[in-house]
A and B are shown apart, each in its own frame.
Chain A
Amino acid sequence: MDEMLTLDNVSLSYQTIHGETEALRGVSFDVAKGEFVAIVGPSGCGKTTVLSVVAGLLKPTDGAVVLDGKRVDAPGGNVGYMLQKDTLFEWLTISKNVELGLKIQKKLTPESRAYAHSLLEKYGLAEFAEHLPGQLSGGMRQRAALIRTLAFRPKILLLDEPFSALDYQTRLSVAENVSGIIRDEGVTALLVTHDIGEACSLGNRVIVLSPRPATVRKIIDIPLPSGPEKRREHKRFGEITNGIWKELKN
């Protein structure tokens, strides 16, 4: 078994004073070690809820989430969460931001710090280590945010529309950049997005969710070479995205 993450028949309903909202209904899928899986679905369908459940921030009403052989029912510091906004702490320097997860988990040792800084070095942010986030461009900030989540070596990376706050050009280059880093570091990743092109250019597989309550409609293998730019130029790219679009529309 080389499954990193398993969702087994996960259902979740939100309770409010006005009633109950069913967000997920019987969602099941696996993510293999080192795999990049993208989830697409209509907006408001509960994509983010899936990530919250995996992170242990929300407890499923029914079913189980198993991460690397252990059942998840509370945040355990095993996931790296990357949000739409880079969420860098503006009062901390880039290097302090990158060390944040290590500090929270009390894992800040000379070795772990050296690893974090080697990532900054490797991905071209070393010279900005002592800068504040406000002095960096949007793309650099998003890279710094990614390094922050990688620094404490999470078992899985959760990406919640991490590029949607960027303008189109930046988005493409940052996506290229980020997916390169994820591949290089051999990290398992789960991405949610409403952008079909983004899902197809990044994922090894794409999971299509239905409108709320979200169920898994289809899981599609993307048989294309890796690298978003290469994929977007591939002659089968249009055909595959079209297929997913039709799947979503039904």
Chain B
Amino acid sequence: MKRKIMTPHEKYLKEVRRGKIIIKLWQFGLLAAMLGLWELLTAVGAIDAFFMSSPSRIVMTFIDLAAGGEFFYHIGVTLLECLIGFAVSMVVGSIIAVLLWLSVGARKVAEPYLVVLNALPKIALGPLIIIWVGSGMKAIVLMAVLICIVVTVISVLEGLCATAPDKLLLLRSMGANRFQLLRYAVLPSALPTFLSVTKINVGLAWVGTVMGEYLVSGAGLGYLIVYGGQVFKTDLVMTATVTLCVLAGGMYALTALAEKLLKRRNKKRGAGQVQ
């Protein structure tokens, strides 16, 4: 038998690859086992599919709903609400954070307000939101924004304030004004924080959207879940929930990918060209 002799480094790389494959196998295996057990227990009647639904029933419900076309309308509504809520809170929250960084006085005045707003369960504002903006999409987006924006302001501000004092001292000795400090040192330093806030907000925007849809809605996945619950259609509830999982996971993966590309571009720009 002829076998290629491997260098220690090749051996090490092979080990690393093997480790990764094993982790993936476990991850998928666990999912398959859970689904299989769920299916089996409902098939033999150990648990009642009427209350618990089952993987096969979820698939059937999904096909039925997809055939009607209406399901995609619900997905579209929820996705749109979520994206608007996410974008508005990222942009407005970051702008507020920058303004608070620019003014030490404003930052100190705002601090207790931010603490209280952060601690407040935003769902408590639900009835007020309905009174203020009515019971349409606006209310749902507003709920998503309320949930995301406070965290955005607090975290981004923290990132801005964490800029290395050495860098600020250096720029100030060069004669930099506050806006130049912001542009050349503070904003670039806060980029990693900004990226992690983005990831957190992807999750929170979904929380806010579904919460908003529980409160008031005539369409959307949250609406389907509430409706399904009221008429005891657990298949519908489960199908909508699984769809939410997939959408939220997909959006998170996209954000992570964007972050990776951004980091790679930065690295490339530095390492690429040796003159």
Contact = CB atoms under 8 A, between A and B. Distances in A.
Interface in A25-81: 55-57, 75-77, 79-81
A195 to B, nearest CB: 20
Contact of A83 (B166, B180, B269, B271): B166
Interface stretch (B47-55, B66-74, B138-146, B171-179): B171-179
Contacts of A158: 173
A100 B169 CA distance: 14
B188 A104 contact: no
A93 B269 contact: yes
Contacts of A127: 274-275
A130 B274 contact: yes
B190 to A, nearest CB: 11
B169 A81 contact: yes
Contacts of B191: 91
Given A130-B272, A132-B271, A105 B172 contact: no
B270 interface: yes
B271 A76 contact: no
B185 interface: yes
A81 B188 CA distance: 21
Interface in B220-275: 266-267, 269-275
Interface string A124-155: 00110111101100000000000000001000
Interface string A82-112: 0101010101010000001101110000000
A141 B270 CA distance: 15
B275 A75 contact: no
B167 A57 contact: no
A105 B269 CA distance: 25
A132 B274 CA distance: 11
B268 to A, nearest CB: 10
A158 B173 CA distance: 10
Contact of A105 (B175, B272, B274): B175
B166 A130 contact: no
Contacts of B271: 131-132, 135
B160 to A, nearest CB: 15
Nearest to A148: B170
Contact of B180 (A55, A104, A129): A104
A145 B274 CA distance: 20
Contact of A104 (B167, B174, B266, B269): B174
Nearest to A91: B188
Nearest to A127: B275
A87 B170 contact: yes
B113 interface: no
Given A81-B173, A104-B171, A89 B270 contact: no
A65 to B, nearest CB: 14
Contacts of B185: 89
A135 B270 CA distance: 9
A83 B275 contact: no
A23 B176 CA distance: 26
B184 interface: yes
A27 to B, nearest CB: 19
Interface in B166-207: 166-167, 169-176, 180, 184-185, 188, 191
5 contacts: A56-B173, A91-B266, A103-B184, A130-B273, A131-B271
Interface of B: 164, 166-167, 169-176, 180, 184-185, 188, 191, 266-267, 269-275
